[in-house]
Structure 1
């Protein structure tokens, strides 16, 4: 979250804490009065017309000095209270005007929210409208995290007039396989959580308009009161307390196997058309880390103009999707906090330099190396000096660089979707946990909570004789078979401490029938050995001398992902009677090796 600092005299005069996160009103100080203290002209509520006649509500903040200013546009579906966490005051102090616009169908904007479907057209219409306003000097930048970041990428590839810079924070690269699904598995926990949030806000918006929401509120409340039961509801389309308020829940499930739908709303193939500098910000424990990295790589290597390629910058900290304090699960990286590197100041400097037409003074890449607990500047991603090493999984549960034996035996386990492996941390966006705990919540968490489960294969190295830095993309390759018509394979990279703690670093999943991509489903032949590439996305982790590197393999991570029934049915149509156990085998011999590819960074 943003940490905004007010002048100490103002804090004393207005009884506002010197540093606060988001809600300025909590001490009786309104946003408007705070802006007036800064000498602005206050707040103006306006409506922005779209090409189809729909008007979108927006709030304009302007510096006290009259005339045109560069404008920062923020497009959000999250209503006014959540928008208070935006860095409006520092932007005004830098001479920007700020327009915070509510997306279609949210917080006073007309129309209906169909998640992501209208953000391209509405964003382009808004940019064109801003250019015609007397308070805009012809220069516009866009800013914001998550949905707000994706709204930027939805327009940047069109190279719209006036746009000078983008700052997409924790933003995915693709809606289908990156936001809704991950290598074919439904991102159940974050998907349901987001729809519960939006359903609650939709109820509030409708109440504010004087509508009777009693029936909808009762149905929503039944789901929200027991999310663990909702995760297990089958079919998932039966969650009408959510889909009746936010129809994208049902739409996404129904469109799983409809590439045309996803292509119509996607910006993935247009990103190379981006014609402005970009500052891409992400976290090692953010569920959209892969998207952030891919957005940076795609634009910095494929944009037409060399200055645009050079103008892309990347910052990755030890952060989750919504927390940049350095606290990530059961680990705390104090020097990794956003405040430690002045992230807000860096973002504003980037915006100011970009609208002025200057090359940014920021380093190309800034990464936090966990374990070493230091920030490091780099010139590219992945790092050019990477030593790509294969560490093989061995039948004795070992893990190392020694090649597998020709006759090494496979290891087997049974996956039962009635009793899935529970989510224990990771790059999640889920609240709560087992028995009222916090296990589902994001970050590095101790995997000993899963000790004793026989549906997890564990492969561990000997204690390291020297430090090993792993910085870059991580993949696990399995040769495996299943008795089912479909299944999942999961993999997790773990740092085992000398005291026994098993702290998760990064993880991934692949749905067997989508092993070649979601547009090319491949039937699973029960008993047949197939090759699976599991994308663990990336990390920057120093495994200390005396620690062990471990890889865990299983077939579920619930409720982060939906349970694979074994039937081969799309996620939204699985019924309770479809759930059936599957017998899994992971092959470890020379001709069918299984291994993790680690991006090892030489120490010298």
Structure 2
């Protein structure tokens, strides 16, 4: 990492209030070339709920001064009701948030230090709303950089997966956001108004999970903010970035395929992080320089070849032994000028044992295949404890460990040892001929690379709620005794299977805690000879143009003093042999406690626990607890939150609490108990 402070333009930082139409003010921090009034610059906006005054300030210091030093006004704005902004926050990606964002873009364009051209960037939430605001087409917004974000709020976010409730983050992320929305603004910024503002937030609190579970199919609630509903709405130039270790990576493939305007895609080995941040897996790249080239082209009319790059640059990963973290993931860059890539051919293998990596699926002929002997799939409920973290964050325990135990809890279909290396790039699919003995059920498919010594490395996976097999907008019960063909689309990847290894397809009916279990504990019957794995194979010699990136650069880091952390496991799986209960105990480890240069002492403790009995789908429990304290001189506040989600056969049950204190005195306590009917989820 190279830290840059020798910028072409001196940088100053100012705080500002941005008025909304209803009188609410959003707070902004602006990094600005000192001479911008005399020589105006384009503006770049990052728009988040994650508190620029504390939580994101170390990350903000890496990039906002960097952009300002290169001739941009780089602006960080807290969403309404978060951080130091006024108002209340009631949900994610609400209409109010998007409308506010459009107003912020227009305000920036009108400032005397701005040329009138604006770009947006962000990772995760900021990447989401960059796409959503671009779809509103504010005239000043010319380009965006969206990193680790999703175009589909229902089927590619933290709520549902394959039409099933995402147990690990439906509850866990709602608990995280409850902890965020419960925190006060900082009196250093808002003055004596901090306590009335905090009380307003606490009075308006409602756990987001209530709303999310009220919409268990893909209805209008989820279509709002999902830019996949109308890609043509976006005319700003889009640089879409993701990592193979991130759950949102498929969005990059869809954007480069469907956006009608200027678009480029970049898929590396990374976790849920900006690609210049030194968190595993690497290698990391000079991402700030790459984005500067993008901004200079679209906001300053620089003729710098930003659009001469291929439409998609992807990292094809070399095979490695299974591990929960890799400092660097070996591989190489390949490029495509169109997506889907004309270099890719679809090859299929019957799960009944006949290997065929040359015959394309489009002209496959099932005539002459027998039904073969059917197999039964019925997995113990703790299948999935070795799934790894849904949002790999670059921590030591994020990635899936050796899958041998998971494979043992699943029904596996192994190919013969490969005669030659097989590389894939894109989204594999598995077609299953199956029947279910209950009206409700879920099928989970994993594809693993099995080494000669038996080590099993997870390559990709997918989930299908059988009730959503005809579309995520409806729930159609299965009719037991009526076999059907279903297709499970797996998450995208770039991966090389070496010669001598086997490709394994593992099928299960449970995947806790990623997938909330169906109440009926169904068994599936699968006909292997009528089922197949379809792989997007990339032949040798189709790498495309060479790819080079500079070494990472950032602005000098913020002088933050990290606090000591408790000596506890980051990810612990335990099994009570007597009761049959399995417990996954997780420290999300978002950054821990720290002391900031302005004197703020911030402490953070978070814990998530997921429990289930191997034989009882109704024993599932997902819990989240947070404890936050913030202190400075005579200001001392704390927030404690807890959330717990369970289910009966007919309802999801959610219990949540918040306790907020100032100087040891209780400011507010809130309790919720909701029972929400189980419908599609």
TM-score with structure 1 setting the length: 0.77
1:494 is paired with a residue whose SS is strand
For residue 583 of structure 1, the aligned residue among 503, 510, 523 is 523
Q: Tell me the equivalent position of 2:575.
A: none
Give unmatched runs, 5+ long, in structure 1.
11-34, 218-242, 566-579
| 1:243-262 equivalences in 2 (<5 Å) | 245=205, 247-257=207-217, 259-262=219-222
The Cα RMSD (Å) is 3.0
| 1:140-539 equivalences in 2 (<5 Å) | 140-179=118-157, 180-205=159-184, 209-210=194-195, 245=205, 247-257=207-217, 259-299=219-259, 303=260, 308=261, 311-322=262-273, 324=275, 336-339=282-285, 342-357=286-301, 358=303, 360=306, 361-371=308-318, 373-394=331-352, 405-416=369-380, 419-425=381-387, 428-429=390-391, 438=397, 441=398, 443-453=399-409, 456-539=410-493
For residue 10 of structure 2, the aligned residue among 39, 44, 56 is 39
In the alignment, is the contact (CA less than 8 A) between 1:476 and 1:533 conserved in 2? yes
Distance 2:495 2:405 in 1: 22
For residue 53 of structure 1, the aligned residue among 23, 41, 57 is 23
| 1:127-146 equivalences in 2 (<5 Å) | 127-146=105-124
Give unmatched runs, 5+ long, in structure 2.
188-193, 319-329, 360-365, 542-681
Q: Tell me the equivalent position of 2:621.
A: none
In the alignment, is the contact (CA less than 8 A) between 1:282 and 1:316 conserved in 2? yes
1:210 is paired with a residue whose SS is helix
Distance 1:475 1:200 in 2: 38
Change (3 A) 1:260 1:364: closer
1:314 is paired with a residue whose SS is strand
Change (3 A) 1:258 1:603: closer
Distance 1:193 1:432 in 2: 18
How many equivalent residue pairs? 503
Higher strand fraction (1 or 2): 2
For residue 78 of structure 1, the aligned residue among 35, 41, 50 is 50
Change (3 A) 1:173 1:83: farther
Shift of 1:246: 5.0
In the alignment, is the contact (CA less than 8 A) between 1:319 and 1:325 conserved in 2? no
Higher helix fraction (1 or 2): 1
Shift of 1:363: 3.2
TM-score with structure 2 setting the length: 0.69
Of the structure 1 ranges 144-153 and 355-364, higher mean CA displacement relative to structure 2 is found in 355-364
- Provide, for residues 285-325 of structure 1, a one-character-per-residue CA deviation record: whole Å limited to 9, x for no partner: 211112222122221xxx2xxxx3xx211110112223748
1:521 is paired with a residue whose SS is coil
Change (3 A) 1:423 1:288: farther
Structure 1 position 97 matched with structure 2 position 81 = no
Shift of 1:284: 1.1
Shift of 1:426: 5.8
Change (3 A) 1:583 1:377: closer
2:22 is paired with a residue whose SS is coil
Distance 2:392 2:514 in 1: 8
Q: Tell me the equivalent position of 1:555.
A: 509
Distance 1:599 1:166 in 2: 29
Distance 2:451 2:411 in 1: 19
